[in-house]
Amino acid sequence: MPLGEKAGFEKSQSRYCGVETEFNDNVPQLLNFNLFTSAFDFVVASLMNPSYRPSLLEKDGVLPFAASDLVLSPSQWSSHVVGKISSWIDLDSKDETLRTASETTLKQEIAWANHLSIQACILPSPKGASCVNYARCVNQILLGLNNMHLWLRIPLVKTDDDDVMDVNSTSFIDSWELWNAFRLLCEHHSQPSSLPSVNSFGRWFGEPVTAAIINMDSFLTNGWGYPCLSKCHQKLITGDSLRRHPLRPFLDYVGFLFRSMDPIPEQERFEPLMDNLEAQTYETFERNSKKYIQYQRAISKALLDRVPDEEASAVTVLMVVGAGRGPLAAEETGHKLKVYAVEKNPNAVVTLHSLVKLEGWEDIVTIISCDMRYWDASEKSDILVSELLGSFGDNELSPECLDGAQRFLKQDGISIPSSYTSFIQPVTAAKLYNDVKSHKDLVHFETAYVVKLHNVARLAPSQTVFTFTHPDYSTKKSNQRYKRLQFEIPCDTGSAMVHGFAGHFDAKLYKDVHLGIEPSTATPNMFSWFAMFFPFRTPVCIKPGSPLEVHFWRCCGSSKVWYEWCVTSPNSLAIHNISGRSFWVGL
């Protein structure tokens, strides 16, 4: 499986490349030619003779399936064959005979595929703008399926008559609208997946696209005579003395595109104020050198501003609160420093002591094993450094922690970071939505998740939500926040389904030194944080040019902090996570 053999990728991230074939009643020969004498991973094969119609079958006659289940082993059927349902089927036809025959044939072919242990079947595209009866039949079938998946073929440009694909034609159908109607009629079921045929638009990147069907006519020929794809088609693939198979060059090129993708690292959700992190988590963060380079730049600039070179002999008091295992305290600046490393995790404190001894810092660094909120410092600092930022900026309680630690800082002292801002943007994220929905409870729909946003469509640019500045000496200080935002979905996007918000942050460490994951200004090579996902209990369908009005709250109690969110336009959704009933961060 050439597309799956890529270092750094989990098995679940592997990509496979198959070939769509015509009807052939000799399935072993079909597999031998396309798989075993070539390098494709599977074949898309018709299960039923295309000339079959239920009305033509004699009473008690044998259905004309492509082959007996005995010609392949169950593992071969499961691993190497994707079933292709007859393309003539039209369950919304005005012709009652055709409509009835279509429903009978669809159920027969699905039942046969299920008997063969085939993992997936491709359903033909709806014939016209209406797909109500088609969706009803598929939804009935889904209720009885356990392991097999159904893939719905959706051409990216479609007309009523499926002839000339002219987007200016009066018969032009927005294929995403067609898919969305089908998906809604099937109650957002997680199994039917959309299959763009050639190219893709931005909305499709947030849908459960299982495969892309690329017609040979879509390939160009490069200067060396090999097949290649246009930039737009490449974007879709990237959102792999025997007889040589004639399609092998196309397979090699798709494999090349897959191997050029970067692996996506994993991330766990945690609450460091409540939890003591494990060594493996610290090690993961410490491998992200870019973050520490930015912190070191900020510290160096702050030291130069605080103590000019001609006064470098003066002692500068530097406090690192939430020191972890020491990377932020490890900066060599040439200035005379007195460093306090404050850390509440007793296991990390052991590592800090070892590091101080190893580096010979005993006369410079004092380790304080204590929660910063309760430590009584003997002197105040010139520079206060913290790394308490979460994926949403303030979601790991940096404001509350630094409010308590601010008493350590001199009145004219410098805080690093000096400020941080959270952002949200509406996204289509069908896979995330279905993962949350699978729990079948309210709690999971009212919980924010730290996730890697891979299969999503970003429908509008991010907008700022909450900003916190440190130090903050205001007398009526409160960390509670409220923000009302309005997003405009571009008209040329077409209709789109919003499953929730993606949350990001950007932090100003010191002056022009920043750190963050907000897409438009994200720090390169940053993997210490992934985005947050705030789901909707009910997805919102946005029409072209319609505004999306949202409300966001950050609420504070005596023992916890939580977020609440809702939508009020184009239609109203209930306020999520009211009073922090489902999701909160403990103080």
Whole-angstrom Cα distance, residue 544 to residue 522? Answer: 28
Give the C-alpha distances (Å, rounded to integers) separating 586 from 244, 384, 469, 543, 560.
Answer: 62, 24, 22, 39, 4
Q: Is the peptide bond before 155 cis (omega within 30 degrees of 0)?
A: no
372 among the known binding-site residues? yes
The tokens describing 585, both together, are 């961060």
At 193, which amino acid appears? S
State residue 185 phi and psi, 5-degree precision: -65, -25
C-beta of residue 565 within 8 angstroms of C-beta of residue 553:
yes
Q: Which residue has the tokens 């017609």?
A: 215
Put residue 6 in one of left, alpha, beta given phi > 0 → left and psi -120 to 50 → alpha: beta
291 among the known binding-site residues? yes
Pick the catalytic residue from 207, 396, 446, 518: 396
Burial class (CB in 10 A: 0-12, 13-18, 19+), 94: exposed
C-beta of residue 120 within 8 angstroms of C-beta of residue 81:
no
At 221, which amino acid appears? T
Q: Is the peptide bond before 417 cis (omega within 30 degrees of 0)?
A: yes
The tokens describing 298, both together, are 């900020």
Pick the catalytic residue from 387, 400, 446, 518: 387
**Which residue intervals of 157-260 are DSSP H helices?**
175-185, 231-237, 248-259
Whole-angstrom Cα distance, residue 172 to residue 72? Answer: 43
Q: Is 278 a catalytic residue?
A: no
Burial 218-233 (b: 16+ CB within 10 A, else e): bbeeeeeeebbbeeeb
Name residues whose C-beta falls within 8 Å of residue 574's C-beta, 6 or more positions apart in sequence: 537, 566
**At 116, is the secondary structure helix, strand, or coil?**
coil
Check residue 238 and report its DSSP letter.
Answer: -
Element (H, E) at 384: strand 381-386
Burial class (CB in 10 A: 0-12, 13-18, 19+), 217: exposed
Closest C-alpha to 569, from 587, 545, 550, 553: 550
Whole-angstrom Cα distance, residue 46 to residue 23? Answer: 5
Q: Is 379 a catalytic residue?
A: no
420 among the known binding-site residues? no
Q: Is the peptide bond before 196 cis (omega within 30 degrees of 0)?
A: no
Q: Which residues does the annotation place in the binding site for S-adenosyl-L-methionine? A: 282, 291-292, 343, 371-372
Q: Which residues are catalytic?
A: 387, 396
Q: Which residues does the annotation place in the binding site? A: 282, 291-292, 343, 371-372
